[in-house]
Chains A and B, each alone.
Chain A
Amino acid sequence: MAKPTGFLEIERHERGYRKADERIRSFDEFVVPLGDEGVATQATRCMDCGIPFCHTGCPVNNLIPDWNNLVQRGQWQPALRLLHSTNNFPEFTGRICPAPCEAACTLNIDNNPVTIKTVECAIVDKGWEEGWILPQPPARRTGKRVAIVGSGPAGMAAAQQLARAGHGVTVFEKSDRIGGLLRYGIPDFKMAKLLIDRRVAQMTSEGVEFRTGVEVGRDVTLASMRDRYDAVVMAGGAEQPRDLEVPGRALDGIHFAMDFLTQQNKRVAGDSEAVAAPTGTLSARGKQVVVIGGGDTGSDCIGTSIRQGATSVVQLEIMPRPPEQEDKALTWPNWPLKLRTSHAHEEGAERDWAVLTKQAVGVHGRVEALECVRVEWVRGASGRVAMQQVAGSTFRIPADLVLLAMGFTGPVVPGLVEQSGVALDPRGNVAATDHDYRTSEARLFAAGDMRRGQSLVVWAIREGRQCARAVDEALMGRSLLPR
């Protein structure tokens, strides 16, 4: 039983960060763990609610009060078991998840949620440290073969689950390393890539075969895969970035965020510049950087730019500045729309809201500035909120490097998706329910961003796990894998 008065007696205390001016000198992770005792104390704040709203706040439905309870009593190993029972990769989510669980925490009714993410991360980090996390090869093989296209968190989660169920699993990855967006979309200072390698090693021991540098749909046809495998899981992500359709877009110096981030991740991984940037180096060093898009990727661009030595970083967002504090009465336990300040912002970036980019201007084909206008969001007669430009508010921002971080519109269609012939949903994602994950084509499943559209890593893990169960059920008639 949790300590009933823990939440009254103990203050919320988060993991610390190395100081901004110190941490921006490297691409290393800068989170300072709380230590076992600190984590256990924080876990004591959990009230073990009659309805743990965190359960459903969390997309993988982590059994949060239960492992809080164990950590509190120093039972780290059972806590790890419990954590792994819902989440294949807690070290990923423990670092980069925005933690909707904490938003749903009962103590968030007055802004003091349990530090769930910190506890999660501590449990799994300790597990690796202590050598508790070992391969779990299946006791029996089913003789069935499953191909998984895409090695992001969805593909990896599906692969691990299916391998543990005894199926022969092969993961196809078009890049040179495993991990998808997790590998190249997220800077190392947020999550060290060693973590992915460790999991790949574990999964290899569990019987998963990884094939990198193979793009299904280009290097091999999907048809041939369907011949060779009993089932194919499409987990290729939603990689089609939203573009900035304004005059001057073609100017040099305007790039998609992913192109920029991938290069830096490869450099950190030790790749030569030729390998890291085959189409030419993108660097923020000495530049005035403008990031368009106010989300997590935008933040990653900021942190990377600052570490590369940008002279200034400005982030633009088309939506109005959200309130500092949501209306709890009407939002909790749901995910609130509110002003979020990331670590990257603390490292030195300006933010501007309700700004629409009208055009990019430059000389000699290089971008020099962005011309923007302020916008208002007005509720129309139909009840719909629409954007209106504010007359006379046009202004310019100097820009040497413009990074487009406005999200993704859906999966890339040419290649795999096109070849597969699967039906798409109205939003352009591969159509399948989150119940059976079946596409319109037989033995072809879809999971992760490819099915649900751009989302969080934690959602990808959920999709991967649930899809694995659906595949297992389809292959074997019944499944013991948890959903």
Chain B
Amino acid sequence: MDMPQRQGLYDPRNEHDACGMGFIANIKGVKSHDTIRRGLQILVNLDHRGAVGADPLVGDGAGCLIQIPDALLRHWAGTHDIVLPPAGRYAVAMCFLPRDAAARATAENLVAQVVQAEGQALLCWRDVPVDTSGLGERVIETMPVIRQAIVACPAAMRDQDAFERKILTIRKQVLNNVRALSAQSHLPGLAELYMPSFSTRTVVYKGLLLAPQVQSFYADLRNPMTQSALALVHQRFSTNTFPSWRLAHPYRFVAHNGEINTVRGNVNWMFARRHAMSSPLLGADLDKMWPLIPHGQSDTACLDNALEILIAGGYSLAHAMMMLIPEAWAGNKLMSPERRAFYEYYAALMEPWDGPAAIAFTDGRQIGATLDRNGLRPARYVITDDDMVILASETGVLPVAEARVVRKWRLQPGRMLLIDLEQGRIIDDAEIKQTLAGEHPYEEWLRATQVKLEDLPNGEEPAAPRDNASQLNLQQAFGYTEEDMQLFLEPMARDGDDPIGSMGTDTPIAVFSRKPKLLYNYFKQNFAQVTNPPIDSTREELVMSLVSMIGPRPNLLGHHAGTHYRLEVAQPILTNGELQKIRRISTQIGGAFRAETIDATWLAAEGEGGMASAVERICREATEAVLAGFNILILSDRAVSAERIPVPALLATAAVHHHLIRQGVRTGTGLVVETGEAREVHHFCALAGYGAEAVNPWLAFETLEQIRVQEGLALSAYEVRKNYIKAIGKGILKVMSKMGISTYQSYCGAQIFDAVGLSTAFIEKCFTGTATTIEGAGMAEIAAETVLRHRQAFGDDLVYRDMLDPGGDYAFRLRGEDHVWSPDTVADLQHAVRGNSQDAYRRFAARINDQGRSDPSGRLLTIRGLMEFRDADRPVPLDEVEPASEIVKRFATGAMSFGSISREAHTTLAIAMNRIGAKSNTGEGGEEADRYVRLPNGDSERSAIKQVASGRFGVTIEYLTNADDIQIKMAQGAKPGEGGQLPGYKVDKNIARVRYATPGVGLISPPPHHDIYSIEDLAQLVHDLKNANPRARISVKLVSEVGVGTVAAGVSKARADHVTISGYEGGTGASPLTSLTHAGSPWEIGLAETQQTLVLNGLRGRIAVQVDGGLRTGRDVVVGALLGADEFGFATAPLIAAGCIMMRKCHLNTCPVGIATQDPVLRRRFTGTPEHVINYLFFVAEEVREIMAKLGFRTVSEMTGRVDRLDMRRALDHWKAAGVDLARILHQVPPRADVAIWNSERQQHHLERAMDVDLIAAAKPALERGERVRISREIRNVHRTVGTMLSGEVAQLRGHAGLPAGTITIALRGTAGQSFGAFLAHGITLDLQGDANDYVGKGLSGGRVVVRQPDGVARDPAQNIIVGNTVLYGAIAGEAHFEGVAGERFAVRNSGAVAVVEGTGDHGCEYMTGGVVLVLGETGRNFAAGMSGGIAYVHDPEGRFATLCNTAQVDLEPVAPEDGDADDAEYPQAEPPSVADNGMGDPLRFDAARLRILVERHARLTGSARATALLTDWPAALGQFVKVMPRDYRRAMQDLRTERAALMVAEQ
């Protein structure tokens, strides 16, 4: 019934899920069977949001929560001679019981015992009638015995809530005890005892079912006697295919669509409260409930557990939800002070459960839903005139006659919808929150107890460091390098930014390095990919917060509020003065805080062995201090000297944090770190991730001062410090946002890291819960490194007498770190390809392949360096191995955008790859259309792989139809979880043209794809792209990190044809150095996990797996194949073959060999040819063949996944790496005859079900003869991506220009599914009466989309939502008119479309670079964030807009009355003349005319009453518009105008 055990790299805790959810409720609380029936209908219509695995009869689970069907149970009781107490006086425990009879008896017995022990009475067991017909075999095999236990409330207990608390106590004990019991008894399946619900009010019917099966399986749900006023339903999309009944939603209180990113930390913090938590309501029962959140559960289950304990502790449902998932309050000027005080007050009690989430919740009396602060999941609802509320991830899931709908709306970010069935009304967000915020004088409480560090009197600066330890010695003791000074500290001090670099990492992982490495380097940052989105911490700053609470946390369940002091810092980097304030805090605030410093150094005389005992001592002293009443602990290495060695700060911090958690006293104290070690962003992040609430980097400050003086910076000491703190702060925000975490408070302790190269024993002791995959260094090796640094600092080493170690991590240095790309390897490779010299290639390959063996220095560079081939007993003759010309077809070059590299370099790669039948990749910058045409010599410059990245630059329907593969870039090895930025100076005319942007205006790629916030969204995009080009394979590019295999499984289930696993070594044109080095992991780990997980799930055969990110030699390719790759990507090596010399200056546009530059002078220096690239790939392929011959394989397919032919070697002679163990990477999932281990099957895309099949047929006259066609159809939410396949047909025939305007008109009625009109081609009009879901007009390529209220409906468009989130994302051209309000992120990254809408959600026009948007209504917050081009107008009669707009990049201007001359060539035109010209004229002039045209057109196309009203008094209306003008855009337009004028003068 459960998932497979952890094996190899597969770990069940990495599983993700997301889904569709919804509910229906009768506001008045009227129960009916119909409500249940309709709830189940919602489920069926959300089917496409779920997934099926390898077996089409096995879904991922679905379920339904309803009120207890008292009538049904009473009837049943009647037939069984049982007297049921009145409703509300009994509880139903829905139980999944073991199939084994003995185990079941034990389980039932256990339930009975605990019920009895808690003084309650178990009335009876009821067999829940089920019907297994139609269920898959595997489902039936794993099906539990489902019974309901009915427990009566004792007469003495009057209060229903008290009874609820009691049954919670029972449930916790049963489930906690069953684990222990099953360990003793060895009864099969006993541990699987599970209670989906146990309540007096609700009951959950769920299981491993497909949506339609919920109803057929559970007879109760079909029984008319089953009645409820609400039905909460959920359909799961999991990344795995393992049958699990319990993981279906809903849980006891919630159904969740999304992901809790911080769950690891949240669960830890809950555990850490054990001794600090008490509840007057629960009393002694609380103690019986621990662990409140058991290990090994899904994030939703954990959240459900947290919610139930808060409710049991006396919080109301809404109150508890606000504590767990608060809206973004810090810095929200629009929020009332009372409400902000409420959130701020509870911030100290509960760290946010952060992540994309739409959560529906109910306790049976109230039902509601809330959205995370970012609003990253959709939730739409309708209210009908017969008191029903229907809410779901999509609109249209339950057809309701339009005439009955009173309102259509959506949940907004951070907002809540609550229906109180007892009060019989909807309580809106403002009322709920105002009421709760007004319940207590939170502002007063805060004033009394909130201590802000900045308000405390100044502390003294601590004394200078002791005499015998010079600055240099101290720096060396903490491992400072020259690069730290030059690449990090100085630029940060100067500019206040986290520094940027380029190309990839090619140094060994820390455990392989021959140099001592800081402990931080063993930790790789996690990042969000697919299952949740990263955040843009710059453009969406409003949700981010660095506020940190230092010190003890109040009792979560204590309601005697207002007495507990809390210390707050605005950000976690403390200056020396601030730390002094904390040190002296005990003399202030009535002694509420007492700080104790714990020395984190040890005696040098004790040597390496001293570190372990020092860690023990520090932990012991920490516990003692907490027990002695100190509530701020300062771990300090200030005592460092020639005699004392500092314990690595990360080790000290994590060890103390986990030690205190284990003792249950962690929330009794704050943890502050005073260290000389931390200096770069990653260091602070790691410290935070393992529990540091604030950090004082004292030596970094001293070093900054040294740099300031030495370099003669024109800044004061204060400014330098400030800049540095600012840079670190920005960096931390970025790292947090990569994982989709918005607040430091929830990042703190969240352990968002993988360890690479640390032993399990060490991790379990000090970094409990962190994943580590290849074992490696432990306490002894880390101690050895630390001692070595200390010896270099204070010893006699001549090299270190007066200078720092060179570092050499970011650029090759002879005495620095080892690099794969060295002067020798680059020279050998270039000489090999240019002279076609096999010898030179062999020298090159040998230098890279022979690690630690032939090389006397014993250097290790990569994980595969420790692998050995198991040669065949009988090799095959070389000439029987498939030819190199076949092997190279499996090769691809990496995604490098035209923009990041020159056209010369880009086309050289394309020609080379096309000549040999391999594939090149456009990267994310689009492609010039002239490259689709073959050159006269037969060469083709067309890139076979078209990338679709978050910026969607140049992603038109034409671009997509010209692809063999379409690659969705979820992440990039060099900077996973981040977006990109192409600075304005790189955007020349050509780049601007292919990217549909403005020359000279910088371009931003957002960190997330705004249409992929979860796995089911990815499935939707895969579906969209497949529709756009059914001939192309759809590929998803992922980056290696622990858990990537699970994501890959999800990708396979999302029907992608291809997945790329990238190693962290992959290159980039520009990335923060922090990300280049510290995010993602080597590909060996990710690829092996992917292969294992896919095979385990039976999903491998239907998807091709490609590996890239640091492949260089034939040996690399063979290792990749044996670990499970079908295909292979190369990027840096082919670039080097074409002349790249790893300058690492790509981000500066100064590439001296003409590759990574757009400078025409430098581009002339490019000397690479396609032959160079081809020679290289053939050398690689020949090397592959030679190895294959020895291994006895004739084809690469035979070899794929044959991990049994790889062996490992121990690095016994390496001082740190001896413990590295590759067993988990080399684990082979036991082969099964019916499970493929390489890509031998096809995905089923079911395009034949698309509405477009019918539309294409109907549009035949237009496609074939250009005749005008009008088509009318009904549409439902299950009709997704309508118009896209048709557009693909148009683009194939007519390219980007499409058909003449108005050729095909499709009139539709109803609710459109997602991606309505995606990539719609020019000449097609979609005219929809009704409404639409998310992603309308995504990638619009010239078509026209109209969504309007149905004829005869008179709802106020400004109060009703008509299209969902992320509408017109990446639109290139065309127009859209919406008679109603759109959701969040309207027109995000629009680069050319013209749109009119009657209101928008938050983040409207985000990252927009072109086009025109007119909003005839209110906008949400953060309008125009990152908007660098195009213009927008907002109708703002009340003058509120200025507070809602993000003016970081834009100016707001009034609209001038009619101006200009209609004959001016730049005057706006009534209709757009072509796909290339939207007819909107000069954006700097003619605003009034343009507005009038748009409003008139809107009125004509939608019949909008609002537009008509505006037109009736146009002069007055005109004064009410505000124009949003991006500053860069204006400048560029002015430049363009000047240029044009100059040109005209010149011509005259």
Contact = CB atoms under 8 A, between A and B. Distances in A.
B1140 to A, nearest CB: 10
Interface string B778-806: 00000000000000000111110011001
A56 B823 contact: yes
Interface in B1115-1152: 1141-1145, 1148, 1150, 1152
Q: Is the interface of B mostly helix, strand, loop or mixed?
A: loop
Contact of B798 (A8, A73, A107, A164): A164
A49 B811 contact: yes
Given A4-B1150, A50-B1145, A51-B812, A334 B827 contact: yes
A164 B799 CA distance: 11
A81 B803 CA distance: 8
Interface stretch (B828-836, B1103-1111, B1259-1267, B1504-1512): B828-836
Contacts of B1167: 329
Interface string B1282-1320: 000000000000000000000000000000000000000
A109 B834 CA distance: 15
Interface in B811-833: 811-815, 819, 821-824, 826-827, 830-831
B797 A47 contact: no
Contacts of A49: 811, 1141-1144
A104 B1145 CA distance: 18
B989 interface: no
B503 interface: yes
A14 interface: no
Interface string A136-148: 0001100000000
Nearest to A73: B711
Given A73-B711, A82-B803, A106-B1152, A52 B835 contact: no
A110 B1165 CA distance: 9
Contacts of B822: 51, 56
A212 interface: no
A376 interface: no
B823 A51 contact: yes
A48 B810 CA distance: 11
Contact of B834 (A47, A330, A481): A330
B856 interface: yes
Contacts of B796: 139-140, 480
B482 A66 contact: yes
A49 B1165 CA distance: 17
A85 interface: yes
Interface in B481-507: 482, 486-487, 491, 503
Nearest to B1150: A4
A378 interface: no
A75 B707 CA distance: 12
Interface in A419-433: none
Interface in A35-79: 47-53, 55-57, 61, 63, 65-66, 69, 73, 75, 78
A164 B801 CA distance: 12
A55 B813 contact: yes
B1153 interface: yes
Interface string B1095-1109: 000000000000000
A353 to B, nearest CB: 25
A345 to B, nearest CB: 30
A65 B835 CA distance: 30
Given A1-B491, A56-B824, A435-B856, A63 B814 contact: yes
Contacts of A51: 811-812, 819, 821-823, 826, 1141-1143
Contacts of A139: 796
A51 to B, nearest CB: 5
A1 B1148 CA distance: 12
A56 B824 CA distance: 8
Contact of A482 (B486, B798, B824): B798
B interface, how many residues as a size bin?
A: 35 or more
Nearest to B482: A66
Contacts of A332: 827
Contacts of B812: 50-52, 55
Nearest to B491: A1
A53 B803 contact: no
B140 interface: no
A139 B797 CA distance: 11
A104 B1150 contact: no
A330 B482 CA distance: 34
Contacts of B503: 50
B823 A53 contact: yes
A435 to B, nearest CB: 7
Interface in A131-177: 139-140, 164-165
B815 A482 contact: yes
A61 B482 CA distance: 17
A330 B831 contact: yes
Highest count of chain A CB atoms <10 Å: which of B486, B1143, B1144: B1143
Given A4-B1150, A106-B1152, A329-B1167, A50 B798 contact: no
B1141 A480 contact: no
A75 to B, nearest CB: 8
A53 B1136 CA distance: 14
Contacts of A435: 856
B795 A480 contact: yes
A5 interface: yes
Given A164-B798, A481-B798, A106 B1143 contact: yes
A335 B799 CA distance: 29
B456 interface: no
B761 interface: no
Interface in B691-743: 710-711
B105 interface: no
B1161 interface: yes
B830 A1 contact: no
B1145 A66 contact: no
B860 to A, nearest CB: 19
B834 A50 contact: no
A333 interface: yes
Interface string B244-279: 000000000000000000000000000000000000
A57 B823 CA distance: 9
A165 B798 contact: yes
Contact of A53 (B711, B798, B815, B1141): B1141
A407 B462 CA distance: 66
Contacts of A78: 803
A47 B1152 contact: yes
Contacts of A57: 823
B1472 to A, nearest CB: 42
A61 B814 contact: yes
A78 B812 CA distance: 20
A7 interface: yes
B1145 A333 contact: no
Nearest to A82: B803
Contacts of A106: 1141, 1143, 1152
Contacts of A334: 827
Given A49-B1141, A51-B819, A333 B827 contact: yes
Contacts of B803: 78, 81-82, 85
Nearest to A138: B796
Highest count of chain A CB atoms <10 Å: which of B803, B823, B830, B831: B823
9 contacts: A1-B487, A47-B1145, A51-B811, A51-B812, A51-B823, A55-B823, A56-B814, A61-B814, A107-B1152
Going nearest first, the 9 A-B pairs with the smallest beta carbon separation are: A50-B1144, A480-B797, A61-B814, A56-B823, A4-B1148, A50-B1142, A329-B834, A51-B812, A51-B1142
Given A51-B821, A332-B827, 19 more contacts: A4-B1148, A47-B1152, A50-B503, A51-B812, A51-B1143, A52-B813, A56-B814, A56-B824, A61-B815, A63-B813, A66-B482, A73-B711, A109-B1141, A109-B1153, A139-B796, A164-B798, A329-B830, A329-B1167, A481-B798
Interface of B: 482, 486-487, 491, 503, 710-711, 795-799, 802-803, 806, 811-815, 819, 821-824, 826-827, 830-831, 834-835, 856, 1141-1145, 1148, 1150, 1152-1153, 1161-1162, 1165, 1167
